[in-house]
Structure 1
Amino acid sequence: MNRSLLDSLRKGGFIFYARHGEATVGRDLPNINFQNCLTQRNLSEKGRRQAIYYGEILRFLRIPIKYPVAASPFCRTIETAQLAFGSGNVQVDPFWVEIYSLSDNLLCGDRQRILNGLQSVLESKPEEGRNTIIIAHSFPEGISLGQIPNLGTVIVKPRGIGSGYEVVSQLSLSDLSNLGS
């Protein structure tokens, strides 16, 4: 099973949706400022080590990546992406803040608009021979890709815009590191 999944991932065509590394305890401030990391939870030392390890694993497994990787504007997601893939290889995408907001009490229409946007992203096929990487947030239980552990990765196979997508696997950081064995 691991070998065939790894062989598929090496051919490209997947989206790796990963949650950021472990963050510090506490809450983001209500008046969060994306330019001020003091207004939000940030990576813990363990989270930084996880992020570095994540990038090392993907390179060791020779999984081809489409650069730049996408990151939510939160300091913890940007830092995770930069530690894993290099600071010049990260593009901040404000859309991923909307995924974070799914945990709030949203109006039904707002929630559906966000999920429709997510659907479009997850249906978009990466360039030939590469995999798209997104470093963002977990989802509330039972919504979209569901709850994701720190640096857990949901591997999605896009079928093309309007044709849906398939969740191929959900891997913890240790599952990912065991793929090559």
Structure 2
Amino acid sequence: MLGWVLLAWLSLPGFGYASDSLAWDALREGRALLLLRHASAPGIGDPPGFQLGDCTTQRNLSEQGREESRRWGELLRRQGIERPRLFSSRWCRARDTAKEMGLGAVAPLPALDSVFASRARAWQQTEELLAQVNGLLQGAPMVLVSHQVNISVLTGIHPASGEGLILALPLGVPAQVLARIPAP
């Protein structure tokens, strides 16, 4: 019983995290990355007939989601992060979240693609993400945009739409969360 109480207490937002200031420093210095859940896109999962290359068949960002994405770009610029390495899932709502930030080119990273419909592959895909991210040279800050289920597998956290997690590098499972940043 005490173990469950301690686990619940440790999982409270903000407990055990570095100060936001230290987390932002780590991000700016390339010792951490920012992992975002895509901004607000009404619904759950993907509609019947979903096709990866056709945004008209997918859930897409709402106007609120587009505004959240632009505010993420503003927040990152205020934090001195103007040209991060941007990677996103190939799903339109994730890619559009990254693009709407207005911080530069967005590279697709299939290891960030949603595992919602293929949960049996979730651990394998998470291992691919770890290998790819940890294999990148340290340098410019890194921002990744993915999906709730993927982030939950990696961190054990169920982020809200547009929420960001600053994660220590190198990534492991579970990832070391330095800060949780609500959607701006």
| TM-score of the two chains, using structure 2 as the length reference | 0.75
The letter for the 2-side match of 1:81 is A
Deviation at 1:122, TM superposition (A): 4.9
Distance, in Å, in 2 between the alignment partners of 1:135 and 1:105 is 18
Do the aligned partners of 2:23 and 2:166 also contact (CA within 8 Å) in 1?
A: no
The letter for the 1-side match of 2:66 is R
Distance, in Å, in 2 between the alignment partners of 1:165 and 1:111 is 15
Work out which of the residue numbers 100, 124, 149 in structure 2 matches 1:113.
124
| TM-score of the two chains, using structure 1 as the length reference | 0.76
Work out which of the residue numbers 50, 69, 89 in structure 2 matches 1:72.
89
Where does the alignment leave 5 or more consecutive residues of structure 2 unmatched?
Answer: 1-18
Distance, in Å, in 2 between the alignment partners of 1:140 and 1:15 is 15
Distance 1:159 1:96, change over 3 A: closer
The count of aligned residue pairs is 165
Distance, in Å, in 2 between the alignment partners of 1:142 and 1:6 is 22
The letter for the 2-side match of 1:148 is P
Deviation at 1:158, TM superposition (A): 1.3
Work out which of the residue numbers 47, 60, 84 in structure 1 matches 2:65.
47
Where 2:159 maps in the other structure, the secondary structure is: coil
Deviations 1:58-112 (A, max 9, x none): 0011136433x111111111111111035x5111222222xx22x34644xx333
Distance, in Å, in 2 between the alignment partners of 1:42 and 1:165 is 28
Deviations 1:13-67 (A, max 9, x none): 2111101110023652233212221211100010010000000110011136433
Q: Quick one: percent identity of the two aligned structures?
A: 22
RMSD of Structure 2 on Structure 1 (CA): 2.8
> Does 2:50 match 1:2?
no
> Does 2:36 match 1:25?
no
Distance, in Å, in 1 between the alignment partners of 2:84 and 2:151 is 29
Distance, in Å, in 1 between the alignment partners of 2:160 and 2:173 is 28
The letter for the 2-side match of 1:90 is V
Where does the alignment leave 5 or more consecutive residues of structure 1 unmatched?
Answer: 175-181
Work out which of the residue numbers 34, 50, 53 in structure 2 matches 1:35.
53
> Does 2:146 match 1:136?
yes
Where 2:35 maps in the other structure, the secondary structure is: strand
Distance 1:78 1:142, change over 3 A: closer
Distance, in Å, in 2 between the alignment partners of 1:163 and 1:112 is 10
2:100 matched residue in structure 1: 83
2:74 matched residue in structure 1: 56
Where 1:143 maps in the other structure, the secondary structure is: helix
Distance 1:172 1:121, change over 3 A: farther
Distance 1:7 1:138, change over 3 A: same
Ranges of 4+ aligned residues in structure 1 off by more than 6 Å: none
Do the aligned partners of 2:98 and 2:145 also contact (CA within 8 Å) in 1?
A: yes
